[in-house]
Structure 1
Amino acid sequence: MQKLSSAIEQSADPVVITDKDGLIEYVNAAFTRVTGYPPEEAIGQSIALLESSQHPPENLAWMWTLIRQGEVFRGEFVNRRRDGTLYHEERTITPIRDADGQITHYVGTGKDVTERKRMEAELRDLNASLEQRVQERTAQLEDVNHELEAYAYSISHDLRTPLRHIGSFVDLLKRHHEAELPENARRYLKIIRDGAGQMEALIDGLLDFARTGRHELQFQNVNLGTVVQEIIERLDDPAREPPVQWRVHDLPLVQADLVSLRQVFVNLLSNAVKYSRGLDRAPLIEVWATNDRK
């Protein structure tokens, strides 16, 4: 009994024993430390001494019904300390029976979880703040997307007009003078017409991107060799001195989005041509593929 009493008294968590009517008969040192009530002020008082009026009356009535039936109660309370401050407690209340099985007392063991509750509240506030910031950011992005769409429509209109002129005059030139043109001139007209058509496709892609906020990838089998050759024909400038020399190795068939992949190679190869200007010798641009799959 002495060991049991010493263990309860030195427990780090509050322990309180009441009679069957809820009058306090015993409190340990942890109870005093958490609540501020010394034994001489707590013993003889109702356990309602700690009430904070933070709980609905029906909840307390349900607790008493449960323990008077001999059941163990586990729950959380917001209690009031001796100095009036509130604290959160996890409490377990267990009925104590005599030799005849009659309930004579209740023992309550608790744990101060105020700091945990404070951190949970801060986390909820932080999550709410982050959610608000995400909503605000999403609204801003939607506004930007609307502006992008309007801008894309404006640009597409401005770009389509000269493209139509290019295509129309190329068609007129071919229709009325193709027989008079040398082979090189007819090839140049084809390059101009193909370039205008590809530009039209890029404008359509720009509009699609603006409408959806992102380009919808359409995966298909793409022959890289064909894509690269088409781009080289567009970039090849017969008037350039010295002319660019191209060395294209065998390129694989890949699964990719044709529009996006073509744009990648347009950027790469046009930069290669652009930054090779000023050389005193013919620049060599080489394209090859390696398989690095492990």
Structure 2
Amino acid sequence: MFFRKKYKITFRPAPLKSWDIYVQSIFQKPIKSLNEQDFNTLNYYKNKFNWASKLDMLSLNYDALVLTNLNEEIIWVNHGFKKMTGYSPNFAIGKKPAFLQGDDTSKLALQEVTRNLKLEKPFTSKLLNYKKDQSHYLCEITIFPLLDHHQKVSHFLALEKEI
């Protein structure tokens, strides 16, 4: 004689994990574009250093941004800097952009950049720079002096593009 056992199948939902809640919150927040992040960061520095300069130059096409003080020391670089050069932002901060130059960088081009910085006017120049892996690339640099409320230059912003 066969006895049939009746099994009652019940559905037990899996416990809710924190990841489930987190994933939902990711899709509810709009993801900021890199240009928007750059603008927000520079707007922070604008308020911190009391710049009178507008940040409308960010509408131009660029791969990397480099913010320096008057001593040409890097204060901030955007995420595109690492992508273009291979150097992390933490490595670059506190250094002068000259660490990107090497033996084949034109001395005349460097003199032109120095001369234009002293004129305190926006300018564009091209330099042969070196990446972290020592490969070189031609970089078009557009530099804008940033003025404080006394109309004195307090910082420089370089928009860089690999060409």
More strand by share: 2
Task: Determine the structure 2 residue equivalent to 1:130.
Answer: none
Kept after mapping to 1: 8 A contact 2:139/2:162? yes
- The number of residues matched between the two structures is 111
Instruction: Check if 1:34 corresponds to 2:65.
Output: no
Kept after mapping to 2: 8 A contact 1:17/1:105? yes
Q: Distance in 2 between matches of 1:74 and 1:56?
A: 15
Kept after mapping to 2: 8 A contact 1:67/1:94? no
Cα deviation code 1:200-219 (max 9, x no counterpart):
xxxxxxxxxxxxxxxxxxxx
Instruction: Check if 1:57 corresponds to 2:88.
Output: no
Task: Determine the structure 1 residue equivalent to 2:144.
Answer: 94
TM-score (normalizing by structure 2) = 0.61
* 1:12 shift after superposition: 6.1
* 1:5 shift after superposition: 6.0
Kept after mapping to 2: 8 A contact 1:23/1:43? yes
Cα deviation code 1:226-253 (max 9, x no counterpart):
xxxxxxxxxxxxxxxxxxxxxxxxxxxx
Could you tell me the percent identity over the aligned residues?
Answer: 25
SS at match of 1:108: strand
In structure 2, runs of 5+ residues without a counterpart are: 1-31, 42-60
In structure 1, runs of 5+ residues without a counterpart are: 114-294
SS at match of 1:110: strand
Q: Distance in 2 between matches of 1:55 and 1:109?
A: 19
Letter in 1 for 2:133: D
Superposition pairs of residues 146-185 of structure 1, within 5 angstroms? none
Task: Determine the structure 1 residue equivalent to 2:37.
Answer: 6
Bigger Rg, structure 1 or 2: 1
Cα RMSD for the two superposed structures: 2.4
Q: Distance in 2 between matches of 1:28 and 1:45?
A: 15
SS at match of 2:125: strand
SS at match of 2:111: helix
Instruction: Check if 1:106 corresponds to 2:151.
Output: no
> Which structure carries more relative contact order (alpha carbon 8 Å, separation 6+)?
2
Letter in 2 for 1:89: C
Cα deviation code 1:41-99 (max 9, x no counterpart):
01001110111232333431222121222111212111101111111111101111111
More helix by share: 1
Q: Distance in 1 between matches of 2:125 and 2:150?
A: 28
SS at match of 1:111: strand
